[in-house]
């Protein structure tokens, strides 16, 4: 340093043709020593920052040259700084070097231009100067030292440990005019237009033209695309990046999870603010599995604003599968998609097959649930359950549960309500239901069932808490028990009992003063504006409310019993057939029973009714002439759905040994009549086991060694997944294959 300054002082007195002396400086510490000491030896210091017309613009070099030419008279020596820092940001600034190189010493004897780590800018420009190539210009001076600088240039500001934040180019140059700036973050609106350079030297500039570019480079995700976020979103994310972050660690930290987990992430979706939802969406574009529905959605989706729409619509482009349908349903639930957009219904209208329609729907909106009931009704009327049943269990499980009433072991009741509920969803009675009603009436089967009062008296004496549901017939046992047992914390037993005849509310008031009554079903049934399937779906909502009330009671009572005063009949209300009254009797609205007068005969014609307590109560779905109008559903008669009510006994599972089952063979051989048997072994003794598979519900037959055998009929060939139930509580799954004909093991192969 001393030698350079001494040489400069001695050399200044020499007569030279050109004034400029370029000083190539290496090392920031050398710069820090040179600038203040050289400034003391010259007549004037010309600072580039003074030629910036604003806080965030580059110096006007034309004005600089004019200043050097016109405003420096009387000056023998000038220090011009910091030209290299200007050129490092804007290489176009190097165009001034040839002019400075040939600056005449006529008036200004010396113009010192120190350049820190700028040889790569200086030499290319001097190559354009003929006098330099001819050796006519003064030699370049060099000063070597140590120390580096790293400057980050961006259009946004971050708090970066150990870095000084500089606002604008003018302030940046002014700092270099005094000393070096080892580590800094320069915030400039010029960043998007500055050229990206990859110059490796002791003075390194790292340019991020946008906050997006910063995120992409710092997190190492090269496939990241700027269009996936807004400038505001990228700037927010850029402020969150820490040293050593890759995109996975950044996202995991901000979303407070250990690693990417698609299901966990979208379960949290509603709790995330808008910025973190965008981050979860962005992370999913990077990490979600290839074979997922989310992957297919994100393939077409380019921004978060259209994410919900694409999550709804992508299903139309995919072949339906249970896995994709289930994932889509959960995704739409998490995204809070409660109403399908108009575009969905337009595309949906182009699909005519009800099973394909079913695969497109969820149970999240009333409109979808209505369409699902319609689809299911069509399919029940024409196709076996096995081909589409899994779709229904996935998209609208509550409807599937309704279609599988709880098995009680009573052959007639179990069969009747399976058929009845099927017809209920079709909203019309088929021939099988009519035959069962005829059997019920002809054999007077109602007297097989115990009176409800006798069963309840025994349960009350054992300390059970009884809850009543007005108008809840046995048809609702499947839905209610599944709602109550799906968590595995409640077990239940279902019995069928007979209500009092006629099945009016007044005639079945058996509840005690402290027993609760849940209402709603009866109001829906008798409403003047009853419509199917809307009213049917409202009834399902009532059953859900009943389940909530039962859970509340189970928190206070060891045993809760749910029963009803009577049931309801849609088919008695909608039947066009009316029959003549017994002589001397009067029909009671709406014609489901008649009051017998003195001397009138209650003898049933063709077993259509039963006489009880001076009344003729219809066993079929007909109505007596003289009855009033009937809306929606009705009661008062003695059809199975009116007079058979469930008695559902519920207890918490507590600390009982939980049953586990193992298949004895995962192959079910179907004989020529398409019948086969599935055998499972339990780890403990249980009272009964039920298998539900492909829309069938089958009670097992107990055998030695805790084994249970299920007789299956009409099962399609191929793989099946069935659910096992103990005390109407799901306890596990079994996966097996049904095969027809001779197989290898039959031949000893």
Question: Residue 598's pLDDT is what?
Answer: 80
Q: Is 365 left (phi over 0), alpha (psi -120 to 50) or beta?
A: beta
Question: DSSP assignment of 632-681, as one string?
Answer: S-B-SS-SHHHHEEEEEEEEE-TTPPPP-EEES-SEEEE-TTSEEEEEEE
Superfamily per CATH, domain 661-747:
Immunoglobulins (2.60.40.10)
What is the per-residue pLDDT across 634-686, written as a single tens digit (0 to 9) for each? 999 999 999 999 999 999 987 677 888 999 888 999 998 889 999 999 988 88
- Give the span between the Cα atoms of 519 and 314, in whole angstroms: 42
- The boundaries of every CATH 2.60.40.10 domain in the chain are 661-747
Q: What is the DSSP letter of 569?
A: B
Contacts of 357 (CB under 8 A, 6+ apart): 348, 351, 371, 375
Its pTM stands at: 0.81
**3-state class of 70 per DSSP?**
helix
pLDDT at 746 over 60: no
- Say whether pLDDT at 744 is over 70: no
Sheet containing 149-154, strands listed edge to edge, beginning at the edge strand earlier in sequence: 164-167, 183-187, 149-154, 203-208
Place of tokens 């007909």: 622
- Cα radius of gyration rounded to whole Å, the chain: 43
Q: Which of 146-160, 352-366, 428-442, 535-549 is the least confident region?
A: 146-160
* Secondary structure element (H or E) that encloses residue 380, with its range: helix 366-382
Q: What is the mean pLDDT of residues 607-620?
A: 93
Residue 630, pLDDT above cutoff 70? yes
pLDDT band at 168 (very low <50, low <70, confident <90, very high): very high
C-beta of residue 564 within 8 angstroms of C-beta of residue 573? no
Cα distances (angstroms) measured from residue 157 to each of 174, 203, 306: 19, 21, 30
Q: Give pLDDT tens digits for 523-552.
A: 999 999 999 999 999 999 999 999 999 999
Residue with tokens 């033209």: 209
Q: How far is CA 593 from CA 535, 618, 634, 644, 676, in A?
A: 25, 6, 11, 16, 45
- Spatial strand order of the sheet with 690-693 comes to 667-670, 729-740, 718-726, 690-693, 696-699
Question: In the prediction, which pLDDT does 254 show?
Answer: 97
Mean pLDDT of 224-244: 94
CATH number of 2-144: 3.40.50
- What is the spatial distance between Cα 255 and Cα 259, in angstroms, rounded to a whole number? 10
Per-residue pLDDT reduced to its tens digit, 475-526: 999 999 999 999 889 999 999 999 999 999 999 999 999 999 999 999 999 9
Do 544 and 484 contact (CB within 8 A), yes or no? no
Strand partners, 26: 144
CA distance 259 to 517: 49
Which residue do the tokens 């005019």 mark?
A: 177
Distance CA 366, CA 91 (A): 65
Q: How many CB atoms lie within 10 A of CB 512?
A: 9
203-229 burial, b for 16+ CB within 10 Å, e for fewer? bbbebbbbbbbbbbebbebeebeeebb
DSSP label of 734: E
Task: Give the residue range(s) of CATH 3.40.50 domains in the chain.
Answer: 2-144
Name the burial class of residue 483, with classes exposed (0-12), middle (13-18) and buried (19+) by CB atoms within 10 angstroms of its CB: buried
Phi and psi at residue 146, in whole multiples of 5°? -120, 175
Residue 269: C-alpha distances to residues 10, 126, 277, 315, 381 (Å): 75, 61, 6, 21, 40
Confidence of residue 747 (pLDDT cuts 50, 70, 90): very low
Q: Across-strand partners of 696?
A: 693
Q: Is 150 in a helix, a strand, or coil?
A: strand
The mean per-residue pLDDT over the stretch 149-161 comes to: 86
pLDDT of residue 741: 66
What CA–CA distance (Å, rounded) separates 425 from 419?
10
331 CA to centre of own chain: 3
Is residue 206 within 8 Å of 223, Cβ to Cβ?
A: no
Q: Does the pLDDT of residue 421 top 60, yes or no?
A: yes
> Which residue, chain included where needed, has tokens 């028990």?
481
Burial 430-452 (b: 16+ CB within 10 A, else e): eeebeebbeebbeeebbeebeeb
- Helix (H/G/I), strand (E/B), else coil: 449: coil
> What are the tokens at 358?
């079913």
CA distance 219 to 289: 21
């Amino acid at each position: 340093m001393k030698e350079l300054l001494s040489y400069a002082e001695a050399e200044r007195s020499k007569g030279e043709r050109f004034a400029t002396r370029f000083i190539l400086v290496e090392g920031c510490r050398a710069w820090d020593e040179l600038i203040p000491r050289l400034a003391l030896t010259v007549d004037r210091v010309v600072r580039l920052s003074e030629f910036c017309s604003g806080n965030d613009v580059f110096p006007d070099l034309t004005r600089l040259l004019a200043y050097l030419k016109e405003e420096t008279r009387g000056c023998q020596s000038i220090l011009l700084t910091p030209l290299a820092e200007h050129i490092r940001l804007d290489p176009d600034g190097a165009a001034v070097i040839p002019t400075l190189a040939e600056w005449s010493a006529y008036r200004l004897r010396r113009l010192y231009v120190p350049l820190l780590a700028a040889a790569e800018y200086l030499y290319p420009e001097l190559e354009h100067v003929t006098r330099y190539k001819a050796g006519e210009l003064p030699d370049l001076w060099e000063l070597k030292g140590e120390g580096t600088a790293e400057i980050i240039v961006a259009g946004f500001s971050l708090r970066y440990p150990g870095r000084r934040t500089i606002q604008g180019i003018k302030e940046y140059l002014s700092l270099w005019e005094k000393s070096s700036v080892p580590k800094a973050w320069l915030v400039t609106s010029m960043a998007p237009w500055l050229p990206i350079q990859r110059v490796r030297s002791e003075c390194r500039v790292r340019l991020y033209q946008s906050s997006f570019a910063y995120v992409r480079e710092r997190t190492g995700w090269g496939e990241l695309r700027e269009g996936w976020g807004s400038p505001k979103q990228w700037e927010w994310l850029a402020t969150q990046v820490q040293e050593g972050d890759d995109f996975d660690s950044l996202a995991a930290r901000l979303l407070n999870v250990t690693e990417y987990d698609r299901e966990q992430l979208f379960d949290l979706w509603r709790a995330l603010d808008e910025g973190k939802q965008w981050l979860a969406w962005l992370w999913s574009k990077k990490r979600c599995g290839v074979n997922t529905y989310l992957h297919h959605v994100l393939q077409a989706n380019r921004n978060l604003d259209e994410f919900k729409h694409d999550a709804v619509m992508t299903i139309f482009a995919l072949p339906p599968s249970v896995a994709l349908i289930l994932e889509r349903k959960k995704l739409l639930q998490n995204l809070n998609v409660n109403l399908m957009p108009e575009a969905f219904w337009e595309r949906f209208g182009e699909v005519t097959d009800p099973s394909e329609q079913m695969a497109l729907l969820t149970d999240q909106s009333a409109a979808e649930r209505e369409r699902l009931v319609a689809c299911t009704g069509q399919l029940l009327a024409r196709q076996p359950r096995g081909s589409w049943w899994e779709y229904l269990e996935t998209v609208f499980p509550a409807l599937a549960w309704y279609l599988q009433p709880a098995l009680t072991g009573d052959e007639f009741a179990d069969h009747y309500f399976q058929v009845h509920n099927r017809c209920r969803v079709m909203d019309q009675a088929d021939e099988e239901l009519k035959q069962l009603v005829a059997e019920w009436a002809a054999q007077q089967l109602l007297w097989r069932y115990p009176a409800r009062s006798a069963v309840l008296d025994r349960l009350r004496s054992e300390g059970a808490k009884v809850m009543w549901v007005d108008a809840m017939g046995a048809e609702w046992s499947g839905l209610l028990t599944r709602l109550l047992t799906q968590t595995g914390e409640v077990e239940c037993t279902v019995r069928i009992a007979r209500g009092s005849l006629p099945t009016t509310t007044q005639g079945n008031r058996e509840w005690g003063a402290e027993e609760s009554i849940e209402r709603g079903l009866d109001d829906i049934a008798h409403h003047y504006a009853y419509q199917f399937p809307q009213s049917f779906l409202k009834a399902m909502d009532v059953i859900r409310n009943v389940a909530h009330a039962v859970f509340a009671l189970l928190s206070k009572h060891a045993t809760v019993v749910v029963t009803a005063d009577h049931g309801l009949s849609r088919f008695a209300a909608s039947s066009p057939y009316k029959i003549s009254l017994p002589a001397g009797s009067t029909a009671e609205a709406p014609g489901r029973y008649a009051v017998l007068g003195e001397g009138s005969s209650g003898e049933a014609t063709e077993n259509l009714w039963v006489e009880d307590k001076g009344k003729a109560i219809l066993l079929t779905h007909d109505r007596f002439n003289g009855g009033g109008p009937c809306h929606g559903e009705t009661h008062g008669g003695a059809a199975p759905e009116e007079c058979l009510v469930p008695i559902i006994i519920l207890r918490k599972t507590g600390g009982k040994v939980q049953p586990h089952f193992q298949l004895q063979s995962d192959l079910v051989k179907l004989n020529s009549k398409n019948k086969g048997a599935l055998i499972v072994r339990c780890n403990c003794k249980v009272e009964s086991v039920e298998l539900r598979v492909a829309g069938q519900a089958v009670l097992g037959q107990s055998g030695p060694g805790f084994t249970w055998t299920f007789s299956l009929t009409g099962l399609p060939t191929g793989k099946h997944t069935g659910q096992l139930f103990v005390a109407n509580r799901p306890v596990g799954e079994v996966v097996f294959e049904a095969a027809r004909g001779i197989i290898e093991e039959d031949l000893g192969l």
